[in-house]
A = this chain, B = another copy of it.
């Protein structure tokens, strides 16, 4: 069977992280069955995941990059089968300018897409969430204990997913980016960078394959109506 390169797979929702529904409800084997490229987090918000060429890397709160195995579980992850095409080449471009350039060049603000940018980044800041155990913390509580890392200059790969704003809350509206340094000594959820230099690769999707953890009683029993999902998410990003 040929891989489907027009579909973005998502397990869980961004929203379920808000009240702390952090049980790992899919394995990396499940996620990799839907793609060789992706991002996510571990059970209990155990670090920041980036999947490149079928290998799952975890940036942990100690600043280590680990490879995790097929049994490692996640409450929320995206994956897809890579089939990128070059979109633009950038030199010392700011993040805001690059995002605007991507939206203009791709004309894809109303659909899902992925960006992969390998290059040189200046003044990069990432955050890594810290694992909590049951009873799980809320996203706001977790964000308060996140660890922030910085590099003045680093070569590596930025992997982003973009979702149209109407999907904000189910997915991350706009760009959601993780980073992995080539030397595997730095990574995590990308908070900011000053400039990037490199080739920007683009892959558009026409389909979201959204899987929900219907076997997880905590998820199914939760009353989301009391959570201020979008406000909490946007404070944490």
| A221 at the B interface (CB under 8 A) | yes
Residues of chain B within 8 A of A211, CB atoms compared: 206-207
Residues of chain B within 8 A of A212, CB atoms compared: 110-112, 206-208
Chain copies in the assembled complex:
2
| A13 at the B interface (CB under 8 A) | yes
| A197 at the B interface (CB under 8 A) | no
B229 contacts A166, C-beta separation under 8 Å: yes
A61 to chain B, nearest CB (A): 28
| A198 at the B interface (CB under 8 A) | no
A224 to B170, CA, bound (A): 18
Residues of chain B within 8 A of A111, CB atoms compared: 212, 214, 220
Over the window 1-35 of chain A, the binary record of Cβ atoms lying under 8 Å from chain B Cβ atoms (1 yes, 0 no) is: 00000000000010100000000000000000000
A129 to B114, CA, bound (A): 37
| A69 at the B interface (CB under 8 A) | no
A residues apposed to B, CB below 8 Å: 13, 15, 107-112, 164-167, 169-170, 204, 206-215, 219-225, 229
Q: List 21 A-B contacts (CB under 8 A).
A: A15-B166, A107-B220, A108-B214, A108-B220, A110-B219, A110-B220, A111-B212, A165-B224, A165-B225, A166-B169, A166-B224, A166-B229, A167-B170, A204-B214, A206-B215, A207-B210, A207-B211, A208-B209, A208-B210, A209-B209, A209-B210
Known contacts A108-B220, A206-B212; can you find 7 more A-B pairs with CB under 8 A? A107-B220, A108-B214, A110-B212, A110-B219, A111-B220, A209-B209, A209-B210
